[in-house]
Amino acid sequence: MKLLIVEDEAKTADYLRDGLAEQGWSVDVARDGNSGLHLAREFDYDVIVLDVMLPGLDGFSVLRELRLRKQTPVIMLTARDRIDDRVHGLGAGADDYLVKPFSFIELLARLQALVRRGRQQESTELNIGDLQINLLARRAFRDGNRLDLTGKEFALLALLAQRRGQILSKTVIAAQVWDINFDSNTNVVEVAIKRLRAKIDGPFRNKLLHTVRGMGYVLETREDEDAANARPPA
């Protein structure tokens, strides 16, 4: 998947490029508004990450110019989060808006959501290793045994399963499962994960629910058990 980063701050642009490239994106970087606009017009990207404060042409202008010709999805980055900035950005045709300092996995989640949007029909039956989840019946089985999950536990599992292999931050989880759209400064998500883990992974040798310390949680099958064990427990 092709992605364009328009960002003048060298460190930011570099770590974004490296991080996204590692996640399998093919990344182009533009250091100012004019070259960013040029690249965005000449090539077809799946999504564009656009900074607001840019030398030459600012992010809003780039977006306006781009929208005259193309509907490439755009995520805007800004250090300011005043409401009018947000409205301005979304009004100018941005698809999403991220305020600095943002976490990398937050950006990753938003990028994937944008690219996924309208692309595929979500399946109602999910299989991860020997874990089976039926979203319609709201039931989960592991190795053929029905798992006894509460409503919230099932919602949490479904979210992790739908985004399998993707690290989900606590903020994203709180927002998706509990509709809590702010940093709550509580360890609710940690506790919920701990309970869910006890139920789905407890008695089994192959662990599926993994903690990525400082970043969040991921549901995936890991062949390399040593690597999985090397991660500190939650």
Partner 1 sequence: MTPWRELPIARRLAAMFAGAALLVFALVGIALYQVLQTQIVRYQHAELETKLRYVAGSVNACELRERWHKVEDKVDSLVSSDRSTKVWAWSDSALFRIGAGAPPVEAARGAADRGMGRLWLADSDAPYRVLAQTIPAKGERPPVRIWVAIDSQPYRAALRSFAFALVALGLGGAALVALLGHWIAQVGLRPLQRLSSDAQRLSPSNLSQRLQPTDLPPELGRVAGAFNGALDRLEAAYTRLEAFNADVAHELRTPLTNLMGQTQVALQRPREAQRLTEVLTSNLEELERMRGIVNDMLFLSRAGQGDIALDRVCVPLAAEVAKTGEFLEYLLEEAGMRLRIDGAADAWIDTSLFRRAMTNLLHNAVQHATPGSEIVVEVRCGEAVPGDCGSGASVAVRNEGKCVEPQHLVRMFDRFYRVDEAREHRGERHHGLGLSIVKAIASLHGGNVFANSGEGRTTVGFSLAAP
- Give the residues lining the site for partner 1 (CB under 8 A): 81-83, 101, 103, 152, 174, 178-188, 191-192, 195, 213-215, 230
- Rounded to a whole number of angstroms, the minimum distance from the CB of residue 186 to partner 1 is 5
Q: Look up residue 52 and give its two tokens.
A: 């607001």
- Rounded to a whole number of angstroms, the minimum distance from the CB of residue 45 to partner 1 is 29
- Rounded to a whole number of angstroms, the minimum distance from the CB of residue 149 to partner 1 is 14
Residue (118 or 232) nearer to partner 1, CB: 232
Quick one: three-class SS letters along the chain? CEEEEECCCHHHHHHHHHHHHHCCCEEEEECCHHHHHHHHHHCCCCEEEEECCCCCCCHHHHHHHHHCCCCCCEEEEECCCCHHHHHHHHHCCCCEEEECCCCHHHHHHHHHHHHHCCCCCCCCEEEECCEEEECCCCEEEECCEECCCCHHHHHHHHHHHHCCCCCECHHHHHHHHHCCCCCCCCCHHHHHHHHHHHHHCCCCCCCCEEEECCCEEEECCCCCHHHHHHCCCC
Residue (4 or 174) nearer to partner 1, CB: 174
Which backbone phi and psi does 146 adopt, to 5 degrees? -70, 135
- Rounded to a whole number of angstroms, the minimum distance from the CB of residue 24 to partner 1 is 22
- Rounded to a whole number of angstroms, the minimum distance from the CB of residue 215 to partner 1 is 7
Residue (31 or 195) nearer to partner 1, CB: 195
- Rounded to a whole number of angstroms, the minimum distance from the CB of residue 182 to partner 1 is 5
Residue (1 or 215) nearer to partner 1, CB: 215
Residue (104 or 141) nearer to partner 1, CB: 104
Residue (37 or 77) nearer to partner 1, CB: 77
